[in-house]
Amino acid sequence: MHDGSVPAPRQFFRVIPADGACIIELSLPDMMDGMQFDQLTDELLAELDVARAPAWVLDMSQVAYIGSALLGLMVNVRQRIKNARGELVLCRMSPRLAEVLAVSSLERLFRVAKTREEALRMV
């Protein structure tokens, strides 16, 4: 049961307009329940539909959670942006997340930059 002590999904991300692109800052704690993650995914995908930007940067610097739900979220975000003929670049990933992407063979789906500035130049 949700008692209000756990942050609502919208608190796990924010979208920031920047130079013709939109930056999605994810901020995920190391533990999240499945219902929260499903709600986060729904709200983030809805935000992508509303913003309709041609270029997106997914800033992963505040992501502590690393698991299959995060990988699913990343793939869903990529697909939604691709379907709208947009571009996506990931940036500021932890070495652990980069390793998980490589091991799961998902790294080939994403363009990756070290910094937010580099990511903005790539889109």
pLDDT tens, 17-61? 998 899 999 999 999 888 989 999 999 999 999 888 999 999 999
Query: Is the predicted pLDDT of residue 4 greater than 70, yes or no?
Result: no
Q: pTM for the full model? A: 0.89
- Answer yes or no: is 107 within a domain: yes
- Answer yes or no: is 1 within a domain: no
Largest Cα–Cα distance in the chain? 44
CATH number at residue 32: 3.30.750.24
pLDDT tens, 60-93? 999 999 989 999 999 999 999 999 999 999 999 9
Residue in 50, 104, 106 with CA at minimum distance from that of residue 76: 106
Residue in 3, 74, 57 with CA at minimum distance from that of residue 33: 3
- Answer yes or no: is 2 within a domain: no
Whole-number average pLDDT of the chain: 90
d(CA 78, CA 109): 8
Domains in the chain, number:
1
- Answer yes or no: is 32 within a domain: yes
Domain range for 96: 9-122
Angle between helices 95-103 and 68-83 (to 10 degrees): 80
